[in-house]
Amino acid sequence: MTNYDVIIIGAGSVGVPAAMALAEKKLKVLVIESLFSPGQANNKKAIGGIRATHSDFGKIKVCQRSIEIFGTWQEKFGDEIGWIAGGYSFPAYTEEDEKKLKDLMKIQHSFGLNIKWISPEEYNELVPGINMDGLRGSTYSPEDGSASPLMSMNAFYFKSLESGAEYKFKENVIDLKMNSDKIAEVVTDKGSYSADFVVNAAGNYGREIGKIVGMDLPIYPDNHEAGITEPVARFFEPMVVDLRKAPGSANYYFYQNHEGQVVFCITPDPPIVGIDNDATSEFLPLCSRRMIDIYPRLTNLKVRRTWRGQYPMTPDGFPIVAKTKEIPNLINAVGMCGQGFMLGPGLGELISRIVTDELSEDDKRMLKSFDQYRDFSGMEQFK
Ligand SMILES: Cc1cc2nc3c(=O)[nH]c(=O)nc-3n(C[C@H](O)[C@H](O)[C@H](O)COP(=O)(O)OP(=O)(O)OC[C@H]3O[C@@H](n4cnc5c(N)ncnc54)[C@H](O)[C@@H]3O)c2cc1C
């Protein structure tokens, strides 16, 4: 049996950047993936939004690093990954939302984030033709942006191969054999492998992997749908996140990608818990009605495709990233909720520092936000 320094279960938004960061450190890495190529589960369902403007130290720091990686990728390595620093915006149409956003901005400023409050007129310059009726202003964080989940995954995958990472596709992890308190063997439907560390980056199935070794990780995937339009000339800059609720949905968000296509997504309310990848006929009328209401200029755009995927949710909206107490060679990196694509590159590096025992004080503070042993009673703002 070949021994690896690290085996990663899952070649998704987290597993592939983690393999890239670990292989870069000259560690011998194997990624085991049940599907036929990298990024085929939730990574390719993401619409590509990337922001550092969260509400807690962990996500902010990890995503700031992710933004550096996404933002400098093409310049450093030459691959186009569709990065645009178009910014994020949360327009407020109610007094309550304005207050919530302004209160959150105080926390965000205390972490040094570049986010400001802009007037309805200034917002109309960024998103020309936005519905001004009742608009009270908007947050705007110009350093946030977007990239193509498909192109980024490809770039990270090939980079990890260059650094020596190995992959086994179409191979399903079915068992983890223990030797005293450590995982001694990762067993798949095709073979067995051993490693000094095992990283659970199994996305929707993070809980199932945990169960194999007697851990009950609170990961509950719920379904989200998204869509993409034909490409048109660029006509607005930032991601627009409308926080208001409407019958059948909570927030929704959309932006124009590097090819001019408008990509959009809505949060069903109540959540549709489970894993069901069949797109529905309800999503498009529900989402497009709301988008056209806030931004009438979208009216004549033709939608090319819709799809459905999952957010691997935790009860409080924060991921679980931890070297486990019970099994010292198991690292869980699961429960990415709706933000695994943006967290991936920063988390990949953090995971590599867990493995090599090079955690800085900041890293330890970040990991507190993602602690597996927290009580999950808090709630991430705007998850
Ligand atoms: C509609 C939609 C829009 C979204 N938009 C955004 C966005 O704008 N920005 C953002 O950051 N995030 C977004 N997300 C969320 C993002 O897609 C997820 O958070 C992220 O992909 C989760 O990453 P992951 O690595 O945990 O899981 P995945 O990317 O799903 O990877 C897990 C991998 O593990 C494999 N696996 C599981 N079990 C096993 C096993 N037993 N053996 C071998 N392999 C296994 C799976 O096949 C899979 O490939 C969106 C999601 C959806 C559905």
Half-sphere exposure at residue 99, Cβ-oriented, CA atoms within 13 angstroms: 3
Q: What are phi and psi of 342, to 5 degrees?
A: -75, -30
- Measured from the CB, is residue 291 less than 6 Å from ligand 1? no
Helix (H) or strand (E) holding 68: helix 57-77
Residue 243 Cβ contacting ligand 1 at under 6 Å: no
Per-residue pLDDT at 378: 79
Tokens encoding 167 = 């992959």
> Does the beta carbon of 241 sit less than 6 angstroms from any atom of ligand 1?
no
CA-proximal residue: ligand 1, atom 8 (nearest): 49
CB distance 153 to ligand 1 below 6 Å: no
The CB of 203 under 6 Å from ligand 1? The reply is yes
* Helix 57-77 and helix 361-369, axial crossing angle in degrees, nearest 10: 120
pLDDT tens digits in sequence order for the chain, 383 residues long: 789 999 999 999 999 999 999 999 999 999 999 999 999 999 999 999 999 999 999 999 999 999 999 999 999 999 999 999 999 999 999 999 999 999 999 999 999 999 999 999 999 999 999 999 999 999 999 999 999 999 999 999 999 999 999 999 999 999 999 999 999 999 999 999 999 999 999 999 999 999 999 999 999 999 999 999 999 999 999 999 999 999 999 999 999 999 999 999 999 999 999 999 999 999 999 999 999 999 999 999 999 999 999 999 999 999 999 999 999 999 999 999 999 999 999 999 999 999 999 999 999 999 999 999 999 987 766 65
Total Cβ atoms within 10 A of residue 321 = 27
Distance 335 CA to ligand 1 centre (A): 9
Contact 283, 45 (CB under 8 A): no
The residues, ordered by sequence, that sit 6+ positions from 309 with a Cβ below 8 Å of its Cβ are 41, 42, 44, 45, 46, 223, 224, 226, 277
**Cβ–ligand 1 contact at 309 (below 6 Å):** yes
Q: What is the pLDDT of residue 383?
A: 54
- The protein residue whose alpha carbon is closest to atom 20 in ligand 1 is 340
Does residue 319 have a cis bond before it (omega within 30 degrees)? no
| Among protein residues, the one whose CA lies closest to atom 41 of ligand 1 | 173
Joined together, the tokens standing for residue 137 give: 């202003």
Provide the pLDDT for residue 159.
Answer: 98
**Is residue 207 within 8 Å of 294, Cβ to Cβ?**
no
Query: Looking at this protein, which amino acid is placed at residue 334?
Result: V
Rounded distance from Cα 42 to ligand 1 centre (Å): 3
Q: Is the Cβ atom of 351 under 6 angstroms away from ligand 1? A: no
Which two tokens mark 162?
Answer: 């260059």
227 strand-pairing partners: 264, 306
Kind and range of the H or E element at 227?
strand 220-231
Closest CA to 257 of 343, 147, 150: 147
Ligand 1 atom with the shortest distance to the CA of 226: 1
Q: How far is the CA of 277 from the centre of ligand 1 (A)?
A: 13
Structural tokens at position 310: 């999952």
What is the distance, to the nearest Å, from the Cα of residue 221 to the centroid of all Cα atoms in its chain?
13
- Given a contact cutoff of 8 angstroms between Cβ atoms, the answer to whether 157 and 21 are in contact is no
Identify the pLDDT of residue 380. 67
**Contacts for 315 with CB less than 8 Å, ≥ 6 apart:** 218, 220, 376, 377
